[in-house]
Amino acid sequence: MLSYTGHPLVDVGIATIAAFVKKRDPTSLTETDLDKVADFMARQYVVDPLRTFLTVAFPNSGFTQPAFNKAPEKREEYAKRILFGYKANTPKLKERCVFTGKPAVGIAFSDKLPPGRAFRQHIPLLTGENVINFFPWGDAGLPVSGEALLAIQAFPLGCAKCGGRLLAVHSDNTDLTYEFAAEFLEHNLKAITLAQQSGSKKLQDADASARTFFIETLLKIEQSRQDEALDRHPSSVTAYHLSNLGSTPSLDIYHLPLEITDFLRQVVGPDYMTEWRAIVQRAWWVSPPKNKKKGKQEDTRPRRNTLFEDLLQLPENARQFLRCYFLRIPVRTRFEGDPRRTYSLRNEANIVSWKLTELFLRRIMNMEKDRIQQICKLADRLADYVFEENDKRFFESLFESHYDYFRTNLIRATLACVKKGKSPLITFDPYIEIFESGDEIARSDWRLARDLVLIRMVEQLYLKGWLGSQPEVIPEIHEEQGSTS
């Protein structure tokens, strides 16, 4: 009876309806299924906590109008008009719905509105009544079918409440859209029950910031999909953090292209989970202690994860991301709770992982396989040299930020090996491929290559026990200016 349209408001609503009756395929929904959802909304949307919650989605609607508080029959009449337009006996217009292409409903949603026309109180982020801007032919409002209107009214139930706004997630993979809507719906239904039992008028916010909650939920869904052996082809995902409230509507959009979702899909698998969890754990924001109010327990749960939030800046910020999280270089930020301020390669060499870094290079940075292999081979030779010769000075020199000094130190170490009758640490062709783009001209990304060499070396030297017994050989690295999420 319903089918996805490609529009996030409608699709999230359709997925929510499907999840409510536990049918993954919306085309299998029946009128009886829609009746169950519409009846639930007709009962719950006119009472707290949803009546208060819906002001963020449908301000000035019949569900939230304060003027209707003393006239419950008006709320019931509004719910009947707005929720049951999919019924076969509902009058239809010749105009087509802008979302579904079906005939628009032929009833007015209030006595002062033209039939079948929806405005801001019916669809989030539209303009108000009688505003003709941005509508075809200067005809205010949008023609909408009963099915689309029901889906849009169900939309808030399939969103998470984060920071007083709605967090909706949409994907080109309809299974993912369904999974997010089902996850948020389940959370909301429990929250509604708890609020009504405690007499609260408010629906509780999610226990994390919008960006953190988005990534956290995506990882949870991907883990579940792996456990259930469901189809896991990579798909792009977009989160919409929105408010339709009063004079301050807002919309923030967070997009994850398929290369990033593919990376996340793999890191929750058994091959990478241990390494991934280690860096996730160290990325939680440190909450400052709050003044305890008498009789009130202090909430010290962290609400932000910088790793999750910095994922939303990829792939543009890939170089800084790799340096911060995989090489453990601290970031300069003015926020005391930001965990990246305290990162230290010296103290955290045990969580440096080449395996995780290599996955990042292949999936996020699209680095050529041959170059990755050349970097890995060079790093292994340098690690063996440092371990065998106990050359602390050479190891420290690799952190040098000036290319000429870095190259000179490599040449000196190579000459020292040759004088001892050993094979050179590095030969001409691999060096050029990794670090140079011409005659003594450094590649624009030579520092990236240097960081990758260090990641592999640190991992290998730690496994050999060389770093574990003398962590002081790792120099204190100066902070770099980075994002502050």
Tens-place pLDDT, residues 424-439: 888 888 888 888 877 7
Average pLDDT over residues 183-209: 92
Is there a domain that residue 165 lies in? yes
pTM attached to this predicted model: 0.90
Q: Final residue of a domain: which of 191, 222, 253?
A: 222
Q: Final residue of a domain: which of 222, 256, 278?
A: 222
Which of the four pLDDT bands, split at 50, 70 and 90, describes residue 458? Answer: very high
Per-residue pLDDT, 483: 42
Which of the four pLDDT bands, split at 50, 70 and 90, describes residue 475? Answer: confident
CA–CA separation, 315 and 296 (whole Å): 43
Q: What is the mean pLDDT of the chain?
A: 88
Per-residue pLDDT, 64: 86
Which of the four pLDDT bands, split at 50, 70 and 90, describes residue 136? Answer: low
- Whether the per-residue pLDDT at 268 is higher than 80: the answer is yes
Per-residue pLDDT, 60: 84
Question: 347: Cβ–Cβ under 8 A, 6 or more apart, which residues?
Answer: 471
- Whether the per-residue pLDDT at 236 is higher than 50: the answer is yes
Highest mean pLDDT among 335-339, 380-384, 397-401: 380-384
Per-residue pLDDT, 291: 53
Per-residue pLDDT, 362: 95
Question: CB count, 10 Å around CB of 442?
Answer: 18
Per-residue pLDDT, 271: 92
Is there a domain that residue 258 lies in? no
Is there a domain that residue 171 lies in? yes
Per-residue pLDDT, 232: 65
Average pLDDT over residues 237-246: 93
> Which of 231-235, 325-329, 430-434 has the lowest average pLDDT?
231-235
Is there a domain that residue 442 lies in? yes
| Total number of domains constituting the chain | 2
- Whether the per-residue pLDDT at 484 is higher than 60: the answer is no
Q: State the residue range of the domain holding 462.
A: 356-481
Share of the chain above pLDDT 70, in %: 92
Average pLDDT over residues 100-112: 89
Is there a domain that residue 93 lies in? yes
Which of the four pLDDT bands, split at 50, 70 and 90, describes residue 333? Answer: confident
Per-residue pLDDT, 420: 85
- Whether the per-residue pLDDT at 227 is higher than 80: the answer is no
Write the pLDDT tens digit of every residue in 278-309: 999 999 998 765 555 555 555 567 889 999 99
Per-residue pLDDT, 32: 96
Q: Give which of 391, 393, 390, 410 is closest to 450, Cα–Cα.
A: 410
Is there a domain that residue 324 lies in? no
- Whether the per-residue pLDDT at 231 is higher than 70: the answer is no
Per-residue pLDDT, 110: 80
Question: 340: Cβ–Cβ under 8 A, 6 or more apart, which residues?
Answer: 283, 306, 324, 330, 331, 333, 482
Per-residue pLDDT, 216: 96
- Whether the per-residue pLDDT at 47 is higher than 50: the answer is yes
Q: Final residue of a domain: which of 222, 247, 263?
A: 222
Q: What would the two tokens of residue 30 be?
A: 């029946």
Per-residue pLDDT, 480: 47
Is there a domain that residue 253 lies in? no
Per-residue pLDDT, 137: 63
Per-residue pLDDT, 482: 41
Average pLDDT over residues 320-345: 91
- Whether the per-residue pLDDT at 325 is higher than 60: the answer is yes
Per-residue pLDDT, 336: 84
Is there a domain that residue 468 lies in? yes
Average pLDDT over residues 246-254: 89
